[in-house]
A and B are shown apart, each in its own frame.
Chain A
């Protein structure tokens, strides 16, 4: 008995150490110099947690074959599943090109949600078994009996329900995000899925089925049906909540789904009564919420607006044909852009969603290299929501060997635009719309934007004059000092590089 207690305590201490490693790891991850070490520390924390758990389960005899019923070696199977999972994870992580990073982060995130969902669901067979036993015992006494999940505590029943709901929503939501980011899906509705009303119905189904399964279902049949219904409803809800979100709004969606996967993990901590799961889960949940908030602020949206879902697809993906009645747009060509850049001594590139879609980051770097050789100062202005996930532009440009000293955040570069010869906007729109500062009635009024129009010349490289996800016109396009280069970012840059070399 004494040995048992001390082993439990040792494992608890190990859990404490790994919680600490997670916290310090995230802390270090937040600083450029120590970020790599931070990631490593968090990984050590995870390894410690897994090792300690296995030690506990083996010494406590949890992994011994179950008497009389199933004689398989659960530790062998568990370790097998771990090895297989590690191999798949490693293989995917090494193989993924940097440009498809957002969708793979979404994919991994979905698996985290799935794991929490399955941990929640694993409680169902156990409750069924307990219900069968209770019914048998009651039958011996000539009574009618059963067992509900709330028999293990109301908090337990609620935690199971929440783990299944949040885990399932994370799983299917992330899969939708994955498909959207990978360009395999651009629908905002599939049948009734995706409409606000149907989401409310699904939410009600989940809560109803969850309450039934947690507090009222006392026989095996009821437990299976109610929890099956709960799972199905929650899986569909994940689809419904994520489908309406447009491609350009993905930074918010991914940050939020990341947060959900943490919250799902946290709820499993309440199922298994394990503090480590609560700590790690809520750390991730909190970080996701903060990132979501940063993204919301940068897009001038309220968090409730995002939580309710239904961010407009209106112009984010498809609305290519509207030209919004611009009257005095000056078009330009690769030849002219090359000449303008050739004469410039300072250039700022403003990359956006369009650059990510066109995957033109290497071309930007090539053009920047040419300009630097001519003695021109090159910088990049990065808006917080540029790209398909938080910080996406930084990753894309880093992959193309752009030194991160050249990447400037909004606050650090806005005052410099007025001293800049040329600003090249690459597939960005709303993040440099003057209406945000000039027009108090504009839907994006107050949104922090890059004040590119202060520069001597602004060249906007864009596929069309269509509006961005905010669905509003951009006066920048017809300002006196701006030139429109209507083309795909990659093609435009390639042509400009050719022209510049010919000069």
Chain B
């Protein structure tokens, strides 16, 4: 019992403090209080999660062996391992977002305390996704993440861009939820249980009702591709990311995408089971694997090709985040240890580099959607040498150039796909990476080798400098010492 509480602690801290943040807001209308309370809550969650990450395997096995009546979580929550690691990642993303957001929303709009509680709530949802070992918890986690997202997208209520992004996100998100739920209902019909592990066992024993199983897997793939913004359901992402407040887009594109990919990995690994030899599921699994491979290839090609023609830096970043979902799906296709390690490493690296790039855009942004075209960035290094150097680091890392973290992420994922006999997918990935270099390096050239045309950009960095420093440091450190993450996360899935 006490052992279980230790492992539940990160979830308890984040959910209690997110509710408490709402209450504090009602009692003391103090903006700095809510800000510092959120920071404190996220740090506490982070420490608790780090503690569960270091816990021994015996403790986790002991919980698994406990009787149902002795447990609060009733085996619906997965402890330790990748769950704890992703808890840390989500909390970090939340911290970086909040710190960068405070000066931004103060400058661009009225600062509402709800912002911080909404971020806390959505992190609670993401953590539930990574902890889920039951379809029910997975579903509630996805919704607890999505509903604050709809509100955050429309946070600047007087900006039509923001409201439209919110509307679009809401409708397409709810539509995707419909498909996801229908898929879950079919999986329940095929197996008669909601527990993800049990479903996997029933499927591998060949006792699931095939027709519902196929329908269920198909519908879940549709729903999850929507949530992860993968082709052919990616079109909402660039619109939502470029319409939402920039710092919020940074949060969507990093933490939100990571959570969707984690959900995807859990479903793919436990339910679709590419490596299963059972006669019943083998064909379905192979088809599903091929479909995901095509989704992955199409996602990165479409994302990179459309990013190529963008004139707006924020929209370019939005399309590039679509392309990165394609790279991440490669790891799911490969479904070997290297692939999963690659996913974890790439998500971590991607989180820092994409967050940093978006935050730099937010520093220069004025009046909602101004001052973020490529032309505005020309000759930037003269007026802002440090910011342009940081932006160059993020761009080089996103393009996958060594010695930055993005390179090793891509390297692991590409290698994993080759090992899984998906050479063609790796070739497509390499081609699309080369395409992506054109626009990432294009921005660097714009900053360093073009004359200023539109007059100086004004920047107000404020506290965002901490976010930028941390993200840049992480991109460089993980690029030089990738083993820091790889050794830790090997064998997680």
Partners in one complex: no
Q: Which residues of A contact B (CB under 8 A)?
A: none
Q: Which residues of B contact A (CB under 8 A)?
A: none
